[in-house]
Structure 1
Amino acid sequence: MSGALRKNTTAISRLLIQRQLIKINHFNEPIRAPILCNQAQSKAYFRVPDFPKKAREYNISPSLFSLPFSSSSSATASLSKVGFVGWYLGMVKSHPILTKSATAAFIYTAADLSSQTVIRQSSEPFDLVRTLRMAGYGLIILGPSLHFWFNLVSKLLPKRDLLSTLKKMFMGQAIYGPAMTVVFFSVNACFQGETGQEIVARLKRDLLPTMLNGVVYWPVCDFITFRFTPVYLQPLVSNSFSYLWTVYMTYMASLEKADTAAICKQKLLGLRRKS
């Protein structure tokens, strides 16, 4: 009996030891399937998206990512400025004459309104017919003439060195300036209903003082325009400088008719003195 009991106890102890070892091995064995599943889930949930690829795929502009990090007002203002400048430069290159003509019309309109604001009484209304005449002159005559003039000068003198710039300035003061001043006074007087004799009298009265003032104002403007500005933007720069000059010109053009009788008397007195 004692031997049988010893055999049973040893067998039971062996079974218990085997079960314990099995449990230990079971807990120590790595659980591969759940870990793989968790790895897949971690890749799915924590994968960094490929922004450059998506941006290329959907044509997302980099400015869309930078805008939230800057102030909205400044970003909107900068984008609007760049957008307008880019649009204007594109219009200058695609439709140069039309764009330059519209620019000249806008500047002449603003200059005439400024001139009327300075000289009119507060109770007097604006002369919109006069403003329309100035806008029409800029649109039909000045804008196209500036385009062709600057292109002609750039072909005759393609360089932008100091000597070429001085030659261009001399040509502007000797040819283009006097010619356009005569055209401006004549066209404006014609639209005001003045006769040929009255137009000639106006030119004799107003042309020389206007030319002398132009010699004082325009050389510096022409130097900057010819020296530092590309040809296709020279009309724009010239129109920008011409704002103050146009205020003066519209004032001169709005003066009363010249007294033709007084001019005739002066001529007769001059002839008598010579004789």
Structure 2
Amino acid sequence: MSGIWAKYNAMLEAQPLLTKALTSLTGFTIGDILAQKFVNQDGKPYDAMRTLRMGTFGFLIHGTTGHYFYGFLDGKLPGTAPLTVATKVAIDQTIWNPIFGLMFFGYLNVVEGKSIDDYVNKIKADLKTAVMGSWAVWVPAHTINFAFIPPSQRLLYINSIQIGYNVFLSFLGNKKVDSDDEEKKEL
């Protein structure tokens, strides 16, 4: 096991962006597989394309934006003092979290070939749930993250927790939205 850890850290040092993207690919792929196998007990057969969509989101969007966002945050707010940690968690959850949700639903919308109206309906139906649902997981997880995890290991730590959280995201991201229900909510 120590050999794998050493190899991972060597990759992280040599190619941090690629390594973090691959780490997120793994986390999102495993999360969707678990969601389909154990959470979505709707009788539908396993959807490999859905897992591919979730994995590519992890690789193309989550890993890359996480690399830059957390690097930026650590650069602007260095250290692990309690006020610094609380500020990072607040920024992550009040600014980054909704942006992440918009990117997540937008990515799925694009790769599934859906319309802008579908995207808007999805945001109206599920963004608030995604953001508020994440608070229960990510406020304590990021408190630990920003206080104790070395910056180079942040995305690995996040993806370790993200596997479980991705079960929720995968379910939410692939939940069908009835546009008639959205129109009724607006009335």
Contact 1:104 1:143 in 2 (8 A): yes
Higher relative contact order (CA 8 A, sep 6+): 2
Residue of 120, 131, 136 corresponding to 2:41:
120
Q: Residue type matched to 1:242 in 2?
A: Q
Q: What do residues 36-77 of structure 1 show as CA deviations (whole Å, max 9, x unaligned)? A: xxxxxxxxxxxxxxxxxxxxxxxxxxxxxxxxxxxxxxxxxx
Q: Secondary structure at the match of 2:130?
A: helix
1:262 and 1:100 mapped to 2: Cα distance?
A: 39
Equivalent position of 2:183 in the other structure = 264
Deviation at 1:260, TM superposition (A): 2.4
Deviation at 1:121, TM superposition (A): 5.1
Q: Which has the larger radius of gyration?
A: 1
Equivalent position of 1:172 in the other structure = 92
1:132 maps onto 2:68 in alignment: no
Q: Cα RMSD over matched residues?
A: 1.3
Equivalent position of 2:61 in the other structure = 141
- Give 1:156-167 correspondences, 5 Å limit: 156-167=76-87
Q: CA 1:202–1:121 in 2, change beyond 3 Å: closer, same or farther? A: closer
1:265 and 1:220 mapped to 2: Cα distance?
A: 36
Q: Residue type matched to 1:260 in 2?
A: S
1:214 maps onto 2:134 in alignment: yes
1:214 and 1:187 mapped to 2: Cα distance?
A: 19
Runs of 4+ in 1 over 4 A off after TM superposition: none
Normalising by structure 1, report the TM-score: 0.65
Residue of 131, 143, 151 corresponding to 1:231:
151
1:200 maps onto 2:120 in alignment: yes
- Report the count of equivalent residues: 186
Equivalent position of 2:2 in the other structure = 82
1:191 maps onto 2:123 in alignment: no
Identity over aligned residues, as a percent? 26
2:167 and 2:41 mapped to 1: Cα distance?
A: 13
1:241 maps onto 2:156 in alignment: no
Contact 1:189 1:253 in 2 (8 A): no
Deviation at 1:125, TM superposition (A): 2.7
Q: CA 1:121–1:201 in 2, change beyond 3 Å: closer, same or farther? A: closer
2:159 and 2:17 mapped to 1: Cα distance?
A: 14
Q: Secondary structure at the match of 1:210?
A: helix
Contact 1:168 1:226 in 2 (8 A): yes
Normalising by structure 2, report the TM-score: 0.94
Q: CA 1:226–1:90 in 2, change beyond 3 Å: closer, same or farther? A: same
1:152 maps onto 2:87 in alignment: no
